[in-house]
Amino acid sequence: DTGVSQNPRHKITKRGQNVTFRCDPISEHNRLYWYRQTLGQGPEFLTYFQNEAQLEKSRLLSDRFSAERPKGSFSTLEIQRTEQGDSAMYLCASSSWDRGGDEAFFGQGTRLTVV
Amino acid sequence: AQSVTQLDSHVSVSEGTPVLLRCNYSSSYSPSLFWYVQHPNKGLQLLLKYTSAATLVKGINGFEAEFKKSETSFHLTKPSAHMSDAAEYFCVVTPLLSGNTPLVFGKGTRLSVIA
């Protein structure tokens, strides 16, 4: 399967713990996006990378959130000191902007539950 | 700034009858517009996209959408609903050729198909 891969698929953590999610984009894609989706809502943009550079961060991305894409391939999203309000589906997507493609391909997401 | 309004949070149709999911957009620039579908426990899948070519766009699974600039609308239609069409549908906007603005999602429309 050459689609966008996210791990883990599910994560349950206690409030105050740190969690890290991983996203492996489609290999030739230079853009990688993180979105968050809560129940009954559409995905909300968090941040995105072009290659290894983080180009934009949403106001939703508090100081407890950090994302990296160190070699321009896979990306990690870390949430420190998790809160119950962080419970959501975290979606990763990738696209190939250089080829004129603005279509984003999404992974199946990581569902985070903070108890 | 870009935004999307999906006019119905839930649409219910009988199998074999037409589907209409309504979307209005707002964009400071000429937009790219998309419809994505999300089945339970599956990733977001692109149905179709408009990027300033033909105003009537055909997508997968018999869906199509018409871009109407005068009405700032991009409604999704299908002549005959199938049970497998039951899912969440998202209308999405991004400025065409923006280079630096991620996808902005609507809140979604849940489509139910009744046998």
Among the partner residues A42, A45, A103, nearest to B102 by beta-carbon distance: A45
**What SS3 class is residue A6?**
strand
Euclidean distance between CA atoms B44 and B72, whole angstroms: 24
Residue B82 has pLDDT above 60, yes or no: yes
Chain A residues in contact with B107 (beta carbon < 8 A)? 40-42
Of A55, A103, A106, the CB nearest to B43: A106
Residue B101: closest CA among A48, A66, A43: A48
Q: Is B87 on the interface with A (CB under 8 A)?
A: no
Residue A27 near residue A2, CB atoms below 8 Å: yes
| Interchain CB contact of A74 with B (< 8 Å) | no
pLDDT confidence of residue B99: 56
Classified as helix, coil or strand, A8 is coil
Q: How far does the CA of residue A64 sit from the closest CA of chain B (Å)? A: 22
pLDDT of A7: 97
> Nearest Cβ partner of A42 from B96, B102, B107?
B107
CA distances to A45, A101, B11, B31, B106 from B26, rounded to whole Å, are 17, 21, 23, 9, 11
* Alpha helices (H) in A1-115, listed in sequence order: none
Which two three-digit tokens encode residue B106? 């609507």
DSSP code of residue B82: -
Q: What is the mean pLDDT of chain B?
A: 91
Q: For residue A87, which of A57, A113, A66, A58 has the smallest C-alpha distance? A: A113
What would the mean pLDDT of B70-92 be, rounded to a whole number? 96
Please answer yes or no on whether A42 and B108 come within 8 Å at the CB atom: yes
How far is residue A77's CA from residue A67's CA, in Å, rounded to a whole number? Answer: 4
pLDDT tens digits, one per residue of A42-89:
999 999 999 999 988 888 888 999 999 998 899 999 999 999 999 999
Q: Which of A26, A96, A106 to mutate to test the interface with B (most CBs of B within 10 A)?
A: A106
